[in-house]
């Protein structure tokens, strides 16, 4: 497989796009004093229900680089807002009623950022790109 000379290798675009997505999401959420990492915790709890810290960390690990804010830092901030609570008996974080509202508000901002990110990309193009990336991941995971 050859790369046309005017294009950079796929790794460049993956890293660059991730940086741009972080910037876009952080910018969209800044007025709410949230980051992409806060959004990911809120959205995971909203979609999957209560999670223990280990499970939540495992779910989010692919998105959080080594120098990223920690789950403890994110959870502390969201707990201070009253948006999530730790059930000491179950050892799980869950959204509160305020957290449900906060998630809904943040989701509108995130969806607008996603629309800006994917502007001009058809559903078929998006699916094709994700399918190729998933296949490449599977190739390397199987080789390891």
pLDDT in tens, 79-131: 999 999 999 999 999 999 999 999 999 999 999 999 999 999 999 999 999 99
pLDDT value at residue 3 = 60
Note the CATH architecture for domain 10-143.
Orthogonal Bundle (1.10)
Express as a percent the part of the chain with pLDDT over 70: 96
Q: Which of 143, 144, 122, 141 is nearest to 133 (CA)?
A: 141
Q: Which of 8-12, 65-69, 71-75 has the lowest mean pLDDT?
A: 65-69
The predicted pLDDT at position 70 comes to 85
pTM as predicted: 0.81
Q: Which of 106, 80, 75 is nearest to 92 (CA)?
A: 75
d(CA 41, CA 27): 17
Residue 62: pLDDT band (50, 70, 90) is: confident
Say what the pLDDT of residue 64 is. 80
Predicted pLDDT at 61: 83
Question: By percentage, how much of the chain surpasses pLDDT 90?
Answer: 77
Average pLDDT over residues 46-63: 91
């Amino acid at each position: 497989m050859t790369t046309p000379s005017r294009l950079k290798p796929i790794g460049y675009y993956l890293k660059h796009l991730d940086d741009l997505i972080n910037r876009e999401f952080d910018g969209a959420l800044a007025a709410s004093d949230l980051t992409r990492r806060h959004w990911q915790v809120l959205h995971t709890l909203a979609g999957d229900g209560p999670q223990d810290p280990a499970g939540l960390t495992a779910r989010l690990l692919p998105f959080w680089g080594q120098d990223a804010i920690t789950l403890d830092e994110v959870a502390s901030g969201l707990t201070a807002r009253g948006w999530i609570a730790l059930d000491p008996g179950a050892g799980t974080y869950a959204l509160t009623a305020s957290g449900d509202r906060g998630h809904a508000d943040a989701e509108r901002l995130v969806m607008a950022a996603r629309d800006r990110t994917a502007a001009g990309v058809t559903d078929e193009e998006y699916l094709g790109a994700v399918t190729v990336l998933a296949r490449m991941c599977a190739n390397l995971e199987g080789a390891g």
